[in-house]
Structure 1
Amino acid sequence: MSDETTLLVHFQPPSDEGPSDIVGAFTNEADVAPDAIGAIDIDDDTATVNVRPNVADRIVQALDGGRIGTSTVSIALLDAETESARAYATRLTDLVELEREEEMRRHEREIETLSGREREDRGRALLRMRGRDEGEGLGGHHVKLMREQKGQPLPDHEIRVGDLIMISKTDPLRDDNPTGTVTQVTNYSITASFDPKPDGWVFGKGLRPDRREEVVSGLRVDLYVNDIPYQRMQDALAQLPTADGALKQLRDVSTGVASPAATEPAPIDDWHNSALNDAQRRAVRKAVATDDVHLIHGPPGTGKTTTATEVLQQCVDRGESVLATAASNTAVDNVVAFLAEQGTDVVRLGHPARVNDRLRTHTLDAQIEDTDTHRRSQQKREKAFAVLDRQEDLTAPSGRWRRGMSDRKIKERAEQGRGSRGVPPERIEEMAAWLALQERADALFDEAEALEQEAIDEVLGAADVVCGTNSTAGSDLLDGHTFDTLVIDEATQATAPSCWIPMTHARRAVLVGDHKQLPPTIQNQEAARRGLRRTLFERLAHHHETAPEAPGSIRSLLRRQYRMHETIMGFPNRTFYDGRLEADDTARHRTLAGLGVPEHALPADERRAILDPEAPLVFVDTSGIDAPEHQRSGSHSRENPREADLIAQLTTALLEAGMAPSAIAVISPYDDQVDRIDRALAPNGPETDTVDGFQGREKEIVLLSLVRSNDRGAIGFLDEPRRFNVAVTRAERKAVVVGDASTVAAADVLGAFVRYAETTGRAVPL
């Protein structure tokens, strides 16, 4: 055919349909002649089909949302917008796959190269374990895992509540090894929930978990990777090329193909939080009014989550269905806590083990358990299991007794009282009875599942706001649910594919974050280089770049910050936020002196100048002393022993002056330096963490070790401006930055900071 139109067909779920199935559906369902169908190209769950232009609309109308073979299909004309969306989704899908393969590779490489004992020594596996059945509970079937030797404590390990673990007996890389979510960790046991219930061998003893182990031992438990988020990201991206309605508008605005709809800020008279400032109120009005997407840009300390919560509550007041998500469980819990305190009826999706203890009553699992529908479902399940128990006294239709007979044939022979090819009539009767029990149990299980879904819909339907991680929004729980408004908190710490998971369930979206802080961590360097680090928030801000105050702007800026002394705020304000930030009166002049830390309680040496309670920002220049960086053998990280010792001395002086450990944080960009400082401090001392790990946190005083000190001026990832922005904005009353000016000042941002400290803050040379 010389004149053709291309249709894009998406299969959900992916299946084995071929060209003949597509031709058959087009001819039978859309009454299209076979010669009107041209080339067909199938790639996994997507096909492109060339057809004559005069039949294209007919095919879309007849089959979009219908079925081809065993799959539900969406069909769209492959116009310029659709082609652009297809290219966008394909690129991101490829990057997600690179990241997925990288994470799998890291886990599997370690499992392959290390023995179980070596993994146990590193804290990522536990050997010689036994399993005990703990029955059904929140999140699935619970199994307690303990040492085979009763009363023996577990060795040190990294397994934490909410982690995914894998149990094995002979090969830790078998695809059918059961995986579960950790719900409790004690010194003597780990409890995890599994769905479905693991096979019986998990509860046995004397198993050899790994052929490489020298001794016979029990179960092996490995800290493992969770593949589900990657699958959900790819499923969400697959919907974009053939999207219509609200999702199509969100897609086209996000890719820059379409402009956001122009709307006027919504009038709001009643505020749930009367303390909101003018910028926060403007952001709420614009977010509530948007028809497609709005960005709330919240620099450090400006109340991003407070503003996001007000958006959610205002949408509830308008009678809307509302979904709130974030990249991390901690961020979701913060939103849930805000809403619960205000009396909002909130449901928290996700495994209860990953939810803060005080918020467990708000989880979907907990609320479902309180419904009569759930109790009826459980009764059906109990009846089904009781029916299955009766099968134990009967001959199962398998192996030597089935002899190729179908279920129907077994039932016929039983009715006739006949045997079959060496199978006596009594065995036939038992197998028929076994099949009847199985059918009865299956029917009860189906009824239980239907009641469980009814209970889920009942709880979700009654909720004002549904909350969960971006990934959880892709679970079966929300199948068929579309929300009027979606709010994504921490949107700048989530990849674009992650954000698309909840966006496929929304008519409009409000993204909250700060693209001037650190983006999400990407493990695969190629994926990072090709754009996976670029967030959807950042992409939208770039495509629709206007001043936040401009009419019709897609972005609102929160300007007033409540965290930092104005001197601490000054440098990031001029460097990253175009001087638009202002310090609230409650924060503008706060110093350590306000906590009652007396200067005379500090050591009478250079530490007094550094820790002066009236000096909110201090740069300690180590270029005048011998303080070179080091790299441990086999490590990619860096450490600086002299800086670590200085940080420890400063911290000790603060504690001796009366500061509480909980008011202090010590951070560094480098893991090895954090480890070194942590070992230099007394037990139960101040919190230590990497800069990346401390993003989103704050303390009264923050001490930052920059580490890098060399003759080459090499600073590695210190050259990432956003990392330094995060680091210096964690402090409320005082920030102490320790580094070698002769090395770090070669970087534009760090050099500017050194000059700022010299002129506006305080610089102390050693």
Structure 2
Amino acid sequence: MLFSGSRKRQGSTNSDESVKKRSKKSESEPDSDDSFENFGRSPKSRGKKIEVIDNDEDSFDAPVKCSTTPKVETISSGVDGFPSLNSSEIFYLTVKSAAIREDCLDVECEDENGANRTVYLQGRWSDTKVEKDDIINLIDAKKWADQDFIVDDDQGIVIVNPDALVPCTSIAQSMFCQRKIILSERFKFGNASNKAMLLGTIMHQIFQIAILSAKRPIKDMDLLDIWKKLVSEYSEDLVALSFTPKSMETELQPYLEVIVKWINEHVPKSNFFGKKAAALPTKSTISEVFDIEDNIWDPILGVKGKVDLTLKVKPQATSQTSMESLELKTGKSGQSAEHMGQVLLYSMMLSTRYKQKIGPGNLLYLKDGIQRPVIPRSQELFSILQHRNKLSKFYGDSLSMDLPEPRTETRFCEKCDQKTFCTFLQKKDENFSKSNETMKEFATANVQHLADPHLEYASKWVRWITAEWKSEMDRTEGNIRDIWRKRAEEREARGTCVGGLEKVSEEKSSNEKVCLRFSKTMSIVNLKPGDVCILSAKTQISLGFVVVQKIEDDAIEVICDKGIKERGPFYLDRYNSMSNWPTILGNLIYFLSDDEVGLRLRSLLVDLQPPQPLSLNALDLPDKVKRIIVKARLNNDQRKSVISAMVSHDFLIVEGFPGSGKTTLISVLIRSLVATGKSVLMAAFTHSALDNILLKLRKELDEKSILRLGNRNSMKPEISDLSLDAKLEKFNEDEHYAAVRKIMRCTPIVACTCHHVPRELLFSYRKFDVVIVDEASMVLEPLILPVLATSSRFILVGDCKQLTPLVLSKSAKNEGAGISTMQKLQEAHPNIVVSLTSQYRMNAPISKLSSFLFYDNKLTCGNEAVSRSCLQRCGDYSPNLENVPEFLHPILSENLEKSCVFLDTKSEEFGEDLKSDDSENGGVTNRGEARLVSMLCEHFLKGGLQSSDIGIMSAYRKQVDEIRGNLNNGLVEVNTIDSYQGREKRVIIWSMAWTSHSNKKNELLRDERRVNVALTRAKQKLVIIGCRKSLETIEILEKMTKLIENHVEIPRNFSLPLTL
């Protein structure tokens, strides 16, 4: 039973004096065969024995309040000397302090009601490590007096930080090296496949499909038929490993006989000639394969995991059924404490999920057919939970760079995939304080290729990325632990959950997924299509992840991996993934590695080695490239950029001013490179910028020459047919593998976002002649590392005077995290920079603002037509100014000289109506400005403009929401300034929102680059609404208002609230 209450962030107050350290056994091999008893030896002392208070049972319901009355136990644990996980009283306490006293750890706590409690940890629990603000679950603890508890060798369990759900596999594998497990959680890298992992994944899936099939007896050929149907799913992996479906079939052969024999014996089906099922190693017989990949989150024990197969069985000598796990292994069948520990954890999790005793589990080694029962014993169960507690410190505070100690001997470290990060952190962050001499010697040798500036660079980025990670977590509404700590009503009120759902239907979708449809009596307003959610039932959290597909007034459809057997009501909690941050941290591996890529990146980014100088000679270009350039009608700057890129040896920086035709330039450059036989990786920060380039390319090139990687749903519909999935739809099953191989290895132009590169299998085996990065000035440097690793030659395109990488952490931003690779190289090597200064977007009055404020008057109109473009010349807009207040006439004017207008709201004279309001959490709104914007928008539309011609922006997300709520036309785009980067509209209305009366700081408006973006989105009309007196307290905005020639003020007699 769980209790409500909020978990506080951990402090770091623990000392060596208050908690004893348990001596560690040296491991002799990676797959240890030691029992868990080695990890649970108890210290000497025993506390005073006290009388046990009986407890009764309760089931999980989020949240369940702490019970303070005696209970009667109805379900025993089934394991001698181990408490029931279902019927015991469980207390959820916050640690205030801990002190060692003789052989007892005294832990001062506070319960959910604020009452002080003391927990005396004795025996095996006396060396439990707890810190101030940790949370502990007490299970079946002895009551001491009225308020306190004792946990010792005779009774009770302590779970430290139960809200940190530690993966079962991590607990089991950490027996060999805790440090590797934690590093693997915080530094995720490696887009390569490997044979062993692929083989294991395939064999698991074949086994799971075969055991659910109706056919018996099953034969080898049946399994091969399953494999043939799975080939398309694994084609990319096969190509990456240079396997063919036939060669992989050869690798699968040794496993088939074992699978066939096991399934036919243990799951013969009732119609198989009356044959009885053979007993499992646990002596049970299978009644039903209840679930496959059973996803279990257990906040009682603080663990989570996926059970390969959950079997409903009939134990020996009883008629009652229960659940047992079957864990499949494709490796060697030697005695393994890791494998046993994993199954023991599953046994405990099945006990809490299905309200049963802690039963045995089963191991099956598919390579040699060896089966082993895993029988739970109290000592081993206690030991593995204590092992979990050790890891919980690091899972509970994922933003801390505090790590477990390194191993004491190094003979397995050389082949460890985390050795680079491990040894780098030992030297730079820990100064070898946790390392013995043997490990220090190994670590020193492993990082000897890194000079001090290289170590400092990596250490700095670890600190900055961690700070960014924390900033995002602080901004994110809700927390994953709220699912079991808070009631659904609370989560719904917060806007992160939809509850009270009842399942209406369950159907297989076209891509082998399952479509679930739920109904709800009230409208669903908190979710939108594409949201990733966690699906839970009333008594079982996290049945799995789902993606919202469709929302109606009283129903919602989601896509998930499998159907559900549980009964409603169901809950959908929006999942805010933080998985980007471990990947970004992991990208540093490209910089730290002792290889050619690492050497080049260190030379480029830290040593700032100059590139080879450019030798511009258009006569050296092939004729077909010259024809491409001529046909594209490029201006002088664009031609120079293409020629420079074609002849560059190392890298080139293309600085493209707003509206200067960067997309056109990139399109021509890619075509020119491909025409000379070069392969190109086209990367960008956003999907929108990437797809705009592809839209231009596909007009000139065959679609077979372009491959767009990434989620098809994130692509513009017009180019989604360039995705791998779309291309493969043209091939039948037999042609699938050959098509994948040809497309992945031979397509000359590959396009994806910078975020996607480290996740894409293709880049583990394919390099490119040239990499082009659009929006390079917006890309955080660690994000660009895997992109630059794909080629020794790259071209960065962007504008460092527009938006830079978004950095939320003030400390990281102040230290330089917002400096992009493009800005760094542009400042270090100005001779390698070419500029595009002619723009084709803004008319002259609008262009003048940005040119003067940011580009030293170098930004010019590309031609006379652009310079004089205005609403009047287009002929589709004619404002009806009858009955329109006179002060609005210049704003609605179609004339060129009125292209840029500032509307001064004079907020100090209009009371609260036009003052900013920052009372709402996390943002700035201005309701008066929002109504003004809505009114102007209506007038522009009545004058003849289309919804798509108008763009409305604000620096503040809350003001964007406020304006959307006021608009009568939902087709007019309202968005933040940042979202408009790279975009354009005929008319832009910019709501400043902020006034000097606000308590909120105005950093967003002080950012000159953001102001530049805002000023350069409009083609023919720019209307800025704000309080001039307030804005002139900001230097850049004071310059802007003085530069604008057309100023209008709201007259004193104008009444608010504004109505049309």
Which residue, out of 948, 951, 962, partners 1:676?
962
Q: For residues 650 and 505 of structure 2, what CA distance do their matches in structure 1 show?
A: 51
Tell me by how many angstroms 1:249 deviates.
2.8
* 2:590–2:597 CA contact under 8 A, matched in 1: no
Number of the residue aligned with 1:261: 612
Q: Tell me the residue number matched to 1:230.
A: 581
Give how far 1:164 is off: 3.3
Which amino acid in structure 1 is aligned with residue 988 of structure 2?
V
Supply the distance in 1 between the matched residues of 2:1010 and 2:541 (Cα, whole angstroms): 37
Q: What's the CA shift for 1:323?
A: 0.9
TM-score (norm 1): 0.72
The one of 89, 95, 99 equivalent to 2:464 is 95
Asked if the contact 1:328–1:469 (Cα under 8 Å) also holds between the matched residues in 2, the reply is yes
SS at match of 1:333: helix
Question: 1:609: which partner in 2?
Answer: 890
Q: Which amino acid aligns with 1:567?
A: P
- The residue type equivalent to 2:745 in the other structure is G
- Alignment-mate amino acid for residue 1047 of structure 2: A
1:23-34 matched pairs, under 5 angstroms: none
Report deviation, 1:347: 0.8
Structure 1: runs of 5+ lacking an equivalent: 1-9, 27-40, 51-67, 69-73, 208-216, 378-450, 547-552
Please state if 1:691 is matched with 2:1042. no
Q: Which residue of the other structure, out of 640, 645, 653, is the alignment partner of 1:282?
A: 640
Task: Give 1:764's aligned residue.
Answer: 1048
Q: CA deviation at 1:24?
A: 9.1
Question: Is the helix fraction higher in 1 or 2?
Answer: 1
Map 1:22-421 onto structure 2 (within 5 A). Answer: 44=422, 46=424, 77-78=448-449, 80=451, 83-104=452-473, 107=476, 109-113=478-482, 115-121=487-493, 123-127=495-499, 128=501, 130=503, 135=508, 141-148=512-519, 155-161=524-530, 163-169=531-537, 178-179=544-545, 188-192=555-559, 197-198=561-562, 202-207=563-568, 217-218=569-570, 220-242=571-593, 244-245=595-596, 248-265=599-616, 267=621, 268-271=625-628, 274-344=632-702, 345-371=705-731, 375=734
1:506-545 map, 5 Å: 506-544=791-829
Q: How far apart are residue 308 of structure 1 and its match?
A: 1.5
Given that 1:133 and 1:142 are in contact with CA atoms closer than 8 Å, whether structure 2 keeps it comes out as no
Amino acid in the other structure paired with 2:847: M
Greater displacement, 510-519 / 674-683 = 674-683
What is the 5 A alignment of 1:448-459? 451=737, 455-459=739-743
Structure-2 change in CA distance of 1:474 and 1:24 (3 Å): closer
| Structure 1 residue 587 corresponds to structure 2 residue 866 | yes
The worse-fitting range, judged by mean Cα deviation, of 479-488 and 622-631 is 622-631
Structure 1 stretch 250-259 or stretch 495-504: which is displaced more?
Answer: 250-259
Does residue 752 (structure 1) correspond to residue 1039 (structure 2)? The answer is yes
State the AA in 2 paired with 1:142. K
Question: For residues 515 and 583 of structure 1, what CA distance do their matches in structure 2 show?
Answer: 20
Q: What is the deviation of 1:567?
A: 1.1
CA distance 1:271–1:18, shift in 2 (3 Å): farther
What residue in structure 2 maps to residue 462 of structure 1? 746
1:465 to partner: Cα distance: 0.7
1:105: Cα distance to partner?
A: 5.6
Cα distance, 1:607 vs. partner? 0.8
- For 1:133-169, what per-residue CA distance to the aligned partner results, in whole angstroms no more than 9, with x for missing partners? 655755xx423232156xx7861233333x4333334
Partner of 1:598: 878
CA distance in 1, matches of 2:755, 2:420: 28
1:499 is matched with which residue?
784
Shift of 1:599: 5.7
CA separation in 1, counterparts of 2:846 and 2:189? 52
Partner in structure 2 of residue 571 of structure 1: 849
How far apart in 2 are the matches of 1:539 and 1:352? 34
Q: Which amino acid is 2:545 matched to?
A: T
CA distance in 2, matches of 1:137, 1:17: 48
CA–CA distance in 2 between the matches of 1:656 and 1:234?
52
2:14 aligns with: none
Aligned to 1:644, which of 898, 913, 930? 930
1:656, CA displacement in angstroms? Answer: 2.4
RMSD of the TM alignment (CA)? Answer: 3.6
Which range moved further: 344-353 or 114-123?
Answer: 114-123
Q: Which residue identity is paired with 1:297?
A: E
Per the alignment, residue 1027 of structure 2 pairs with 740
Give how far 1:694 is off.
2.2
Q: Is the 8 A contact 2:660 2:838 kept in 1?
A: yes
AA partner of residue 534 (structure 2): M
The alignment covers a number of residue pairs equal to: 612
Structure 1 CA distance for aligned equivalents of residues 963 and 412 of structure 2: 67
Equivalent pair of 2:682/2:773 in contact (CA under 8 Å): yes
Structure 2: distance between partners of 1:292 and 1:259:
9
Aligned to 1:29: none
The one-letter amino acid of 1:91's match is K
Amino acid at match of 2:987: I
2: CA distance between counterparts of 1:654 and 1:462? 50
Please identify, of 351-360 and 315-324, the stretch whose mean Cα deviation from structure 2 is larger: 351-360
What are structure 2's unaligned runs of at least 5 residues?
1-186, 192-403, 429-441, 1051-1060
Larger of the two Rg values belongs to structure: 2
SS at match of 2:978: coil
Alpha-carbon spacing, 1:680–1:46, altered in 2? closer, same or farther (3 Å): same
Q: Aligned residue for 1:58?
A: none
- Of all paired residues, the percent bearing the same amino acid is 23
683-692 or 291-300, which deviates more: 683-692
Judge which range, 617-626 or 521-530, deviates more.
521-530
CA contact (8 A) 1:599 1:612 kept: yes
The aligned amino acid for 2:996 is N
Residue 222 of structure 1: how far off its partner (Å): 2.7
Aligned equivalents of 1:186, 1:340: Cα separation in 2 = 36
Between 1 and 2, higher relative CO (CA 8 Å, sep ≥ 6) is seen in 1
Deviations 1:40-77 (A, max 9, x none): x9853648899xxxxxxxxxxxxxxxxx9xxxxx9674
What whole-Å deviation, never above 9, does each CA across 1:587-627 have from its counterpart, x for those lacking one? 10111112333366463511112322111111122237425
Secondary structure at 1:44 match in 2: helix
Q: Is the 8 A contact 1:111 1:172 kept in 2?
A: no
Does structure 1 conserve the Cα–Cα contact (< 8 Å) formed by 2:420 and 2:592? Answer: no
Counterpart selection for 1:720 from 1007, 1014, 1023 = 1007
